[in-house]
Amino acid sequence: MNLKQQRRQAGLTLAQLSERAALSKGYLSKLERGLATPTIAVALRLSRALAVSLAELYPELGEAAPGTDCTTLQRRDATPLLLPQNGAGYRALAGAQAGRRMQPLLVYPPAELGAAPTLHQHAGEEFFYVLHGTVALHFADETITLGAGDSLYFDARRAHRTQSVGDEPAEALVVIAG
Amino acid sequence: MNLKQQRRQAGLTLAQLSERAALSKGYLSKLERGLATPTIAVALRLSRALAVSLAELYPELGEAAPGTDCTTLQRRDATPLLLPQNGAGYRALAGAQAGRRMQPLLVYPPAELGAAPTLHQHAGEEFFYVLHGTVALHFADETITLGAGDSLYFDARRAHRTQSVGDEPAEALVVIAG
DNA sequence: TCAAAAAGTTTCCTATAGGAAACTTTTTTG
DNA sequence: CAAAAAAGTTTCCTATAGGAAACTTTTTGA
């Protein structure tokens, strides 16, 4: 539906998009006017060719599964502190349940990086907001230091690791969209 | 690809899923074995019938647009305070740019609800975390009061409005996935 | 152990996704 | 304004999405 708008916004003609997406000009014309329904493979090619997410071309695809009530109320400190092997403790503020788009966590980065430098890496995007203290975010090629109130939004596929620096133990709110 | 696993997990047979999704049993069998590619309309019906997100059936569809660098570093108070008509001030911590899955905001709910009770409502999901003060989250049918450190994850299609209660002005971190 | 029933697969058919190219409309340019 | 080029549409064709039903395999149960 929004295909035409997205193509226009990208400044492309049907012929240009046709080449990029490896689809015929005529077929694209039909798609734009709702005269055909693409297969998911074609929709994906369009999304890549226009460098937009699928949901922007077909908003209905972006909706969460229906019937799944995603509401979760979480009182402070009401969830247990988990300490997995990589050193950073965390609290899940809402379970990573199927059908939920985001997973919010409270993260407590360790002061010292363990001997096993396992970088955290996963699909999707991550929003990192420092609540207290100072956090060093180590990426493969750079390190970013954030103080309370600072935030970083980044592609979670970039391997990363967190460290609490300074005397006060740090606390951060992390939201992952996978 | 994961269709078979998802169907099994839901405890459904091909015939049962066939009825729910209004697709033939034989065609479903082909889909599960990769012998056919569904149109987006069919993929959506499957997603609804199984009550899972599309990305769980076809992970490649869930990926963000490639080539879009979504990284944004935001220092504390480095972004302007916006005061739109509905009364709640906010700061955008990362622009709602195309291709980004989440939009993080700092929200400053008003102490008094304006005369025009415009409820906030939009597609997607919202994660609400109270940083300071106390916030009353008004929904059509209920009001939830959150203190510092409390959080609520909910379906953003439920109309809602925020209010700062108590003497200290409240501040909340909100992340929207649209 | 052997029906009988349920689950899954295959075959064959129709409707539609998608391509090639002619055609029409709009824009550019002299 | 006219000619040419570019953008978009339509026509017609082939490949495949998707349905109906027969067929095969697995499970159930006496």
In this predicted model, which residue has the larger pLDDT, A48 or A108?
A: A108
- The reply to whether the CB atom of residue A34 sits less than 7 A from any atom in nucleic acid chain C is no
- Of A141, A134, A146, the closest CA to residue A158 belongs to A141
Give the position of tokens 């993080």: B104
pLDDT score at B74: 77
Q: What's the pLDDT at A148?
A: 92
Q: What are the backbone angles phi and psi of residue A152, rounded to the nearest 5°? A: -140, 135
pLDDT at B15 over 60: yes
Q: Chain A partners of B104 at a C-beta cutoff of 8 Å?
A: 127, 129, 151, 153, 175
Q: What is the pLDDT of residue A136?
A: 92
Residue ranges of A 31-50 with Cβ closer than 8 A to chain B: 37-41, 43-44, 47-48, 50
Q: Stretch B66-72: mean pLDDT, rounded?
A: 61
Nucleotides of D under 7 A from a protein CB: 6-11, 16-22
As a whole number, mean pLDDT of residues B141-160 equals 86
Per the listing, tokens 């109130």 go with A149
Residues in A closer than 8 angstroms to B38, CB to CB, are 39-40
- CB < 8 Å to B72, chain A: 152-154
pLDDT at residue A68, rounded to an integer:
54
* Nearest amino-acid residue to D11, taking CA and C1': A26
Quick one: average pLDDT of B11-26? 86
Residue that wins the pLDDT comparison between A63 and A49:
A49
SS3 A10: coil
Averaged pLDDT, A75-88: 67
Does at least one atom of strand C sit less than 7 Å from the CB of A11? no
Q: What is the DSSP string of B14-52?
A: HHHHHHHHT--HHHHHHHHTTS---BHHHHHHHHHHHT-
Decide: B164 and B134 in contact? Cβ < 8 Å: yes
pLDDT at A92 (0 to 100):
78
Residue B85 pLDDT > 50, yes or no? no
Average pLDDT over residues A112-131: 72
Q: Domains in chain A, ordered, with CATH? A: 3-62 (1.10.260.40), 89-177 (2.60.120.10)
For B102, which residue in chain A has the nearest alpha carbon? A177
Predicted local distance difference test score (pLDDT) of residue B84: 56
Sorting pLDDT into bands at 50, 70 and 90, what band is A96? low
User: What percentage of chain A reaches a pLDDT higher than 70?
Assistant: 80
Measured CA to CA in angstroms, residue B30 lies from A11, A103, B13 at distances of 39, 34, 14
SS3 A105: strand
What's the confidence (pLDDT) of residue A116? Answer: 45
Q: How confident is the model at residue A94 (pLDDT cuts 50, 70, 90)?
A: confident
Of the candidates B88, B170, B86, B100, which has an alpha carbon nearest to the alpha carbon of residue B129?
B170
Cβ contact A50–B65 (<8 Å): yes
pLDDT digits (tens, 9 = 90+) for B42-64: 888 888 887 777 877 887 776 55
Residues 4-23 of B with CB under 7 A from strand D: 22-23
Interface mutation target, options B61, B81, B139, chain A, most CBs of A under 10 Å: B61
Predicted pLDDT of residue A167:
87
Strand D proximal to A85 Cβ, under 7 A: no
Q: Is the CB of A29 under 7 A from strand D?
A: yes
